[in-house]
Amino acid sequence: MNNPDNQNIAVAANKAVISKMQDKMTTKTLHTEILYNLSTSRNITQSLMKFGVGESDKNMLVGVIEESGEDRTDNVLSHFKGIISPIEELPKFSDTALIKKTYKIKDSELAVSTLTDSVVTRIATRDFTSV
């Protein structure tokens, strides 16, 4: 699943780290917790299927979570083949129609909000709303 910019990823990752610090993670690992937080579903399996890597995926966002002072990025990236693009290029890989469908965002909402703000709001408030 593509996202319009990295703010969405940052919110999901922040929620995951806070959940881990409070020992309240819904999933077993920090990485799956991030994928779970990107989803509007409370179903872990559905979240991982939708936001995880699929066999036909050609583009992916790789996030490296490290403790202060660590630098594992080069080691992690050495396991991937292809072109590495900076995070600023993430929007060019985004499928706006799919994002709108996934997060149930209507054009009327975008008249008063940006796509990014709408997605971030859904990610940030999922725990307080029922979808």
pLDDT value at residue 22: 95
Question: Which pair of tokens denotes residue 76?
Answer: 């992690």
Residue (of 20, 26, 13, 28) closest to 65 by Cα position: 13
pLDDT value at residue 131: 47
> What distance in Å separates the CA atoms of residue 79 and residue 49, rounded to the nearest whole number?
22
The per-residue pLDDT for range 36-67, each reduced to its tens digit, is: 999 988 899 999 999 999 888 888 888 888 77
The per-residue pLDDT for range 75-126, each reduced to its tens digit, is: 888 888 888 888 888 888 888 999 999 999 999 999 999 999 999 999 988 8
Please give the model's pTM, rounded to 2 decimal places. 0.82
DSSP per residue, 23-58 = T--SSSSHHHHHHHHH-S-S-HHHHHHHHS--TT--
Ordered structural domains, the chain, with CATH: 6-128 (3.30.2380.10)
DSSP per residue, 74-91 = HHHHTT--S----GGGGG
* Rounded alpha-carbon distances, angstroms, from residue 79 to 45, 88, 91: 25, 22, 24
pLDDT value at residue 5: 66
